[in-house]
Amino acid sequence: MTFTTSYETKADPLDASFTAVAAVVPDPEIAALRSDIDKLSARLTRPALSSALTGTKADPARAAFTDRYLRKGLDAGAPELKSLSIGVPGDGGVAVPNEIDTVIDDTLKTISPIRGIASVVQVGSANYRKLIAVGGVASGWAGEVAARPSTGTPNFVEVVPPMGELYANPSASQAMLDDAMFDVETWLASEISTEFARAESVAFVTGSGVAQPKGYLSYPATAADDTTRPFATLQYLPTGVAGNFAATNPQDRIIDLVHALRPPYRQGAVFVMNSTTLARVRKMKDNTGAFIWQPSLSAEQPATLLGYPVIDAEAMPDIAADSLSIAFGNFKAGYLITERNTTGLLRDPYSNKPYVQFYASRRVGGAVINSEAIKLLKFAAA
């Protein structure tokens, strides 16, 4: 005699519960209960990607930009990300999402020292114009019933900061972009911001003004004071020795530089020089033997020279004959930076195979808007 044994294994432990209640619960209610349990099971077993479980909302525009455009070169699928070039109407690009653009802006402020102390204006067109009142509005005194004659009318000067297109062209292999562990956003933001900051730091100091900002050292400079010096001409103080400080009391000329700046501009004024010049200045002492340099006592409090912060800008020239190696002034009032508020980005997988090049660009300009707010120390005899 042959015996046959039958075994039944449930595919899901939850199914066993339905067998027990099938006799007492009507079929429609069982179906609804099974649907609710299936939904709950799916939520508990899959990765937590939705805002319901993580408490955060994924940005579809950013995800499309990174995963589709940066990694694969596909259309990002978001029409609002498209931006047109100013110079060539038919040339299109993709605007960098705000998250990456914010990283670039923050890094530029950190690495590009002049950007951190100057006035920055976001513009929406190719050019920016600013009116400056030269001399201010005249006024007068009068008695209670005396006549009030007309006062002088101020003169206005139009300042147009020269602008140019700042660009960077980093490359990455397609294999790197295909690797999910490669953080393409962080890498791209770092590459772009580093190159932009390097170029900016030079242009804001010594830029020619031709397809780039005009640096403050590119403006004419004279020893004439504020009352006789023409507009857009900076004042310098000579050290008395060509290519050097005076042999005795060299710190006196730095003190003179501070007081050449009128009191309204000293609030918020800073020194600007490179590391080589700063090393010499830090060794100077006053007549009592105390250093004129005061180191920082905390991270929030910068080191000071004669009570004013010092900005280390490597674009400033080394000390040499007739060099303008130290600047002192209120750059918020004296120098203006203009820029478009987005960074354009183009992906090029063809020009340098097997690498993918990312062409990033933004329009940046700069100009002196108040020549009375910035003073220079010239290492010259006169």
264 and 298 co-located in one domain: yes
At residue 70, φ and ψ (nearest 5 deg) are -65, -45
For residue 288, the model assigns a pLDDT of 87
| Cα–Cα distance, 159 to 269 (Å, whole number) | 22
227 and 264 co-located in one domain: yes
For residue 377, the model assigns a pLDDT of 98
Q: Is the CB of residue 219 less than 8 Å from the CB of residue 204?
A: no
257 and 341 co-located in one domain: no
| Cα–Cα distance, 221 to 229 (Å, whole number) | 9
> Does any domain span residue 61?
no
| Cα–Cα distance, 180 to 158 (Å, whole number) | 52
237 and 163 co-located in one domain: no
> Does any domain span residue 57?
no
Nearest to 71 by CA among 168, 190, 180, 167: 180
Band (pLDDT 50/70/90 cuts) for residue 7 is very low
Q: Is the CB of residue 194 less than 8 Å from the CB of residue 111?
A: yes
Residue 31 neighbours by CB under 8 Å, 6+ apart:
none
Q: What sign does the CA torsion over 166, 317, 334, 117 have?
A: positive
Nearest to 317 by CA among 366, 380, 372: 380
Q: How far is CA 145 from CA 43, 46, 142, in A?
A: 86, 87, 8
% of the chain with per-residue pLDDT over 70: 70
For residue 37, the model assigns a pLDDT of 64
> Does any domain span residue 102?
yes
CB 137: neighbour CB atoms within 10 A? 9
The CATH number assigned to the domain holding 160 equals 3.30.2400.10
| Residue 242 predicted with pLDDT over 80 | yes
**pLDDT digit string (tens) for 322-381?**
999 999 999 999 999 998 877 788 888 888 888 888 888 889 999 999 999 999 999 999
The CATH number assigned to the domain holding 226 equals 3.30.2320.10
For residue 67, the model assigns a pLDDT of 65
86 and 192 co-located in one domain: yes
Distance separating the N- and C-terminal Cα atoms of the chain: 125
* CA 368 and chain centroid, separation: 19
162 and 270 co-located in one domain: no
194 and 106 co-located in one domain: yes
229 and 321 co-located in one domain: yes
| Residue 262 predicted with pLDDT over 90 | yes
For residue 179, the model assigns a pLDDT of 76
Q: Which of 119-123, 198-202, 259-263 has the highest mean pLDDT?
A: 259-263
Q: Is the CB of residue 177 less than 8 Å from the CB of residue 185?
A: no
Residue 263 neighbours by CB under 8 Å, 6+ apart:
none
284 and 355 co-located in one domain: no
**pLDDT digit string (tens) for 307-327?**
999 999 999 999 999 999 999
229 and 207 co-located in one domain: no
Supply the mean pLDDT for the chain.
Answer: 79
144: tokens are 């209670």
* CA 163 and chain centroid, separation: 16
For residue 48, the model assigns a pLDDT of 44
Q: Into how many domains does the chain fold?
A: 2
Cα 328-332-291 angle, rounded to 5 deg: 30
More confident residue, 272 or 85: 272
For residue 344, the model assigns a pLDDT of 80
**pLDDT digit string (tens) for 171-186?**
888 888 777 677 777 7
Q: How far is CA 272 from CA 117, 269, 311, 337, 377, in A?
A: 10, 10, 5, 17, 11
Report which secondary-structure segment, H or E, holds 60. Answer: helix 60-63
DSSP class of residue 241 equals B
> Does any domain span residue 238?
yes
For residue 1, the model assigns a pLDDT of 47
Q: Which of 48-57, 120-129, 177-186, 209-218 has the highest mean pLDDT?
A: 209-218
Nearest to 100 by CA among 9, 15, 191, 31: 191
> Does any domain span residue 45?
no
Q: Is the CB of residue 174 less than 8 Å from the CB of residue 358?
A: no
Nearest to 156 by CA among 178, 136, 179, 139: 136
> Does any domain span residue 26?
no
State the amino acid at position 280 in one-letter form. R
CB 362: neighbour CB atoms within 10 A? 21
> What average pLDDT does range 77-106 have in this prediction?
52
Band (pLDDT 50/70/90 cuts) for residue 123 is confident
> Does any domain span residue 188?
yes
Band (pLDDT 50/70/90 cuts) for residue 82 is very low
167 and 269 co-located in one domain: no
Band (pLDDT 50/70/90 cuts) for residue 14 is low
For residue 55, the model assigns a pLDDT of 47
* CA 90 and chain centroid, separation: 28
> Does any domain span residue 306?
yes
Residue 191, CB-side half-sphere exposure with 13 Å CA sphere: 18
Structural domain span for residue 359 = 81-133+153-211+337-368
Band (pLDDT 50/70/90 cuts) for residue 249 is very high
More confident residue, 273 or 187: 273
230 and 351 co-located in one domain: no
| Cα–Cα distance, 238 to 245 (Å, whole number) | 9
Least confident of 1-15, 130-144, 240-254, 321-335: 1-15
